[in-house]
Amino acid sequence: MKSSRYTIHIISENIDAQKRFSISRFWIWTLILLFIVSLAVVGGGLWYYIPRISEFREKDRQFEKMLSERTQVLDLYRELNRLGQMEEIIRSKLSIVFFFQAEDGIRDEKAFTISYVENIPSQAPVDGFLTQRMLDNSRVWQKNHYGIDIAVSEGEPVLAAAGGRIIFSGWTYDLGNLIIIYHGDGYFTHYGHHQINLMQTHGIVKRGDVIALAGSTGISSGPHLHFEIWKNSRVIDPLEFFPEYKEKDLSVKTND
């Protein structure tokens, strides 16, 4: 009669260390079957998933390419938007008029006149804390910052630093709600990140007039006023005109 069990005998030189195992034929065939099934499952899984892994990698590569292209398109859109805003500002500057034609044909001087006393920036636009100084001619890894940032409360009144004519009042990508005032003698002042502009383009202001309410529009991390002073296309550090801001200086000093 054919035996239904198999015996495995491990022989050693040491008689006491000899081992002997017995296993039924059923379990041997069961283990063989399980091994074959496992190989079939692993092989089938590899056959099914390897092409899909390659397909996934290709789709991931296409997605990265599409994302890169969309990022480039978005950057181009933003650049075009900024160029459009700069064109609007330049057009506003070129449209400055100090004399207007009266109905009777006689040229009449408007209320805004150039005064070398009243139109030089001398009124601090807000009362706040200096959080960033002007940074001009910076290194390659630094971004120029043509002005100073002054932290204030949301809705704080922003005052005209001097009398003049508003040549731009509108939205820009970087500075949000922006107002630019021409003061004569080549002086311009810029006020950015407003919650709302209270004066319109071509409006006339006197020193100390409220022109806007401080906010955090544009590229901004919190309520503050971005303030710039220019003369004859050259940026000037506002701290030269308003040294009192140095007494409330919270900006981070950087070594040149």
What is the pLDDT tens value at each position of the chain, 256 positions in all? 556 666 666 666 666 666 766 777 777 788 888 888 888 888 887 787 777 777 778 888 888 888 777 777 676 666 666 666 666 666 555 555 443 344 444 444 445 555 656 778 999 999 999 999 998 765 544 567 889 999 999 999 999 999 999 999 999 988 999 999 999 888 999 999 999 999 999 899 999 999 999 999 999 999 999 999 999 889 999 999 999 999 999 987 654 4
Within this chain, do residues 165 and 222 fall inside the same structural domain, yes or no?
yes
Domain boundary among 14, 45, 66: 66
What is the structure's pLDDT at 53?
77
Within this chain, do residues 222 and 154 fall inside the same structural domain, yes or no?
yes
The pTM of the full predicted model, rounded to 2 decimals, is 0.59
- 73 assigned to some structural domain: no
What is the structure's pLDDT at 24?
73
Type of residue at 246 = K
User: CB-based contacts of 106: which residues, under 8 Å, 6+ apart?
Assistant: none
The boundaries of the domain holding residue 180 are 107-248
- 139 assigned to some structural domain: yes
- Angle formed at CA 124 by CA 119 and CA 129, multiple of 5 degrees: 155
| C-alpha dist (Å) from residue 245 to 88, 119, 135, 154 | 32, 20, 16, 19
- 83 assigned to some structural domain: no
